[in-house]
Amino acid sequence: MSMDAQMELICSNLQEVLNKEIMEEVMKKGEPLKIYWGTATTGRPHAGYFVPILKIAQFLQAGCHVKILLADIHGFLDNLKAPIDLVKFRAKYYRYVITALLKAVKVPIDKLEFVLGSDYQLTPEYTMDLFRLSSVVTEHDAKKAGAEVVKQVENATLSGLIYPLMQALDEEYLKVDAQFGGVDQRKIFALAKDVLPRINYKERAHLMNPMVPGLQGGKMSASDPDSKIDLLDTPDIVRKKLKKAFAPPQQVEGNGVLSFVEYVLLPASALQYGTQKFIVERRDAEPLEYTNIEQMQKDYLADVLTPQLLKPAVTEALIKILDPIQAEFQASPEWKEIEQKAYPPPPAPAKKEKKKKDKGTFYPKKVAAQPDGTVEGADKQTVSVGEDGGAKAIEKLSVEDKN
């Protein structure tokens, strides 16, 4: 593959590229371009992860050496999204998932390297460099950099300010030429470009994917179950979620279902079958076959491709692509065990203890009724009215008392 062809493949479908010349200089030397993508090991990975995974597949096709950072410490720093006792299990779970995702789209992983953040982020050298960075980055700039990535809360902890500094520093410690991520990471990338030279480290190139809308519109989020498809969702759950997904007729902008075809299903088909295509079955006509998103969008705007046709086609294509991932999960006791440790079910709510009713001081607790109507037991005297049923006691009452 020529250098121009490599660069075209590396930059295809990206929303923005910063410092492209840095990558060109490396490639002119005949060296493989080293790129890293980091993911904080927090919530369960969802079908939206296919988007960066398919881009990573293109990097690998272009001969790049790709490092995937399982950012366990970052997950803990981001407002405790990953409790410290679950961090190591979630990192292992992510490794299983990402490997299965790549296999599902037929990507060779011999030039892929996994790196665990805590393996180097807890060293004295890294800690000292983090102190050096914190001495040249203001609180305002650190907060601004993480605004679209770190969860924003009132009276935030300092960990949210450390997060973007570490992400910048990771570029140096991973010894890469470029960092890849979503366009929501742009402010962190800009911070890294600006501050690394201040502590005598070089700038890197930055590659940014567009953000794919969720099934309900807006950002696809692991915290919103209706906005995303979990990779282990059953076919019935997938069908149910896609059926109520946001896909208004003749509306392309913000259409999460159409975007999923653009950024996942079309590129995945090229990797799986050697040619890019997406087929939409029709009951009373020939199927619609698409090789590019532009024609799909044109037909959708013209109402040739309707939501009623699009949703079932996307549903079945997604179920098919998830099938090998789920089969691998079912066949792996180790993966199943890690899943339970990484995402333990919430504890069952404690049962409320029934309060014993206070039935009064004179409630007979130690008596037993007999067949003839009398009672026997330690408290007999407190309840018995005599063998005649109380007749003698009534006779002793005065006329006034009886009235």
Q: What is the pLDDT of residues 299-336, one digit of tens each?
A: 999 999 999 999 999 999 999 999 999 999 999 999 99
Using the predicted structure, report yes or no on whether residue 392 has a pLDDT greater than 90: no
Using the predicted structure, report yes or no on whether residue 403 has a pLDDT greater than 80: no
The CATH superfamily holding the domain 235-342 is: Tyrosyl-Transfer RNA Synthetase (1.10.240.10)
Does this chain's domain 3-209 share its CATH topology with 235-342? no
User: Where residue 371 falls among pLDDT bands split at 50, 70, 90?
Assistant: low
Whole-number average pLDDT of the chain: 86
Mean pLDDT value across residues 11-23: 94
The more confidently predicted of residues 257 and 359 is 257
Q: What percentage of the chain has pLDDT greater than the value 90?
A: 57
Mean pLDDT value across residues 197-219: 86
Question: Tell me, what amino acid is at 203?
Answer: E
What's the confidence (pLDDT) of residue 372? 63
Using the predicted structure, report yes or no on whether residue 376 has a pLDDT greater than 80: no
Q: Which helix (H) or strand (E) element contains residue 113?
A: strand 112-116
What's the confidence (pLDDT) of residue 288? 95
Using the predicted structure, report yes or no on whether residue 384 has a pLDDT greater than 70: no
Count CB neighbours of 294 within 10 A. 10
What's the confidence (pLDDT) of residue 114? 94
Among the listed residues 201, 194, 120, the one whose alpha carbon sits nearest the alpha carbon of residue 164: 194
Among the listed residues 83, 80, 76, the one whose alpha carbon sits nearest the alpha carbon of residue 166: 76
Q: Considering the domain 3-209 in this protein, what is its CATH number?
A: 3.40.50.620
Return all residues near 161 (Cβ < 8 A) that are at least 6 apart: 139, 142, 143, 146
User: Where residue 103 falls among pLDDT bands split at 50, 70, 90?
Assistant: confident
Among the listed residues 220, 385, 246, the one whose alpha carbon sits nearest the alpha carbon of residue 314: 246
Mean pLDDT value across residues 41-59: 89
What's the confidence (pLDDT) of residue 251? 93
pTM (predicted TM-score): 0.80
Note whether 46 and 318 are within 8 A (CB).
no
Least confident range from 14-28, 32-46, 158-172, 224-238: namely: 224-238
Q: Where are the domains of the chain?
A: 3-209, 235-342, 360-391
